Amino acid sequence: MPVYTKSEARAWAREKMLGVANVVIPTVTGDFTALNEQAARHDVETTIAHGFVGALACSEVVMSMAEYRRFVEVMVEQAAGRIFVVHHAVFNTLEENIVAARLAAEAGAELVLLGYPPCFYPQSLEEVYAYTKAFCDATDLAVMLFPIPTWGFGRFSPIDMPVDLLRRLVDDCPNVVAIKAEGGMPHIMGPIEVHRAFHDEVVISFPMEHEFIPLAQLIDVPFCGTNFSAFFGPVLPRVFAMIRERRFDEATAEFHRIDPARKAFASVPQAGGGLINRLLWKYEGWLQGYNGGPLRHPTGRVYQRDMAALRRGQEAAGLDPTPDADALFFVGRNPA
């Protein structure tokens, strides 16, 4: 259970949410029947070695609720307080998400990234408010709101979750501690509006690294995540430190240095129909030392043309991807 009360949640967030957080994706055993716990432990250790301050326990894969609870528990056990673990609230219904949040809290998660189910099709922003408030009321965990086009709320607002909606939620839900600002992508007006309106009250995350690195040199952005930053290995945490120390020229040089990897990432199909290809994300992390390994079907596939592009991009950026053959990715570094 959380170490803070709801009234203390925002103070906890100000202290802990200072840095970059990545995503840890579960791995299953080679026979696809169980969670591969050693793979999860490997990924937590790699996350810590790369300098991240937190990690999302990804639930957007094929696994049971019991397996997900154990996945969070293993991550928390391995982290041993060195990073915080984020619960991924993207289950099928509000009721199921409330149950999952309780299980994640029992397992030791300290923060929730709140998404919305694919079959949640609200007819108004009032329904979005009601869903979100009901969830926040039902958990003692700190909650990070997540405006993004994925949820389909763009039919109500060009920035998906407008400032007046967020204003009500920040005022009415004391455990709303952060906003992951991706509303209105690919434009940055939504994140700028959110930052301007709320940065004095809650933590604002700019999770897109190509936005974070330049904008954080102009405005205070204390958190970058959760995101695909495992693809860049330890680079993003190092750049974050440069920016906090106002070493802007060095941060800018790193931004330009990793551009071939950034372009390679953008060149392959990361998502379709509102669903991220998590197997591809696993490959991107595997290139930088993460476990890799199997996910249950149905899952997106990883093709050789995309693996080649991603590897070449990392090589051109000086990121030293693993020399291991791509075939080993599908087995993973800790097969079970």
Q: Is the pLDDT of residue 79 over 90?
A: yes
The pLDDT score that the predictor gives to residue 316 is 98
The pLDDT score that the predictor gives to residue 292 is 98
pTM score > 0.75 for this model?
yes
* Whole-number percent of the chain with pLDDT over 90: 100
What architecture is domain 6-257? Alpha-Beta Barrel (3.20)
Every domain of the chain and the residues it spans = 6-257
Q: What is the 3-state secondary structure (H, E, C) of 259-293?
A: HHHHHHHHHCCCEECCEECHHHHHHHHHCCCCCCC
Helix (H, G, I), strand (E, B) or coil at 185: coil
Here the tokens at position 164 are: 């007046």
Q: Is the pLDDT of residue 1 over 90?
A: no
Mean pLDDT over residues 304-325, rounded?
Answer: 98
**Paired residues of 28 in beta bridges:** 35
Give tens-digit pLDDT for 25-35: 999 999 999 99
**333 in the Ramachandran plot: left (φ > 0), alpha (ψ -120 to 50) or beta?**
alpha
Distances (CA, A) of 58 to 11, 71, 261, 325: 25, 9, 23, 26
Going 286 to 291 to 293 to 298, the CA torsion angle's sign is negative
Give tens-digit pLDDT for 194-215: 999 999 999 999 999 999 999 9
Here the tokens at position 233 are: 């290995």
Environment class of residue 200 by beta-carbon count within 10 Å: exposed (0-12), middle (13-18) or buried (19+)? exposed
Environment class of residue 284 by beta-carbon count within 10 Å: exposed (0-12), middle (13-18) or buried (19+)? buried
The pLDDT score that the predictor gives to residue 95 is 98
The pLDDT score that the predictor gives to residue 97 is 98
DSSP 8-state assignment for residue 35: B
For residues 235 and 254, is the Cβ–Cβ distance under 8 A? yes
* Per-residue exposure over 83-101, b if at least 16 CB sit within 10 Å of its own CB, e if not: bbbbbbbbbeebeebbebb
Q: Is the pLDDT of residue 298 over 90?
A: yes
Q: Is the pLDDT of residue 136 over 90?
A: yes
Give tens-digit pLDDT for 179-189: 999 999 999 99
Give residue 281's identity as a one-letter amino acid code.
Answer: W
- Residue position matching structure tokens 């301007």: 196
Here the tokens at position 86 are: 């984020």
Backbone angles phi, psi at 243, to 5 degrees: -65, -45
pLDDT band at 50 (very low <50, low <70, confident <90, very high): very high
Mean pLDDT rounded to a whole number for the chain: 98
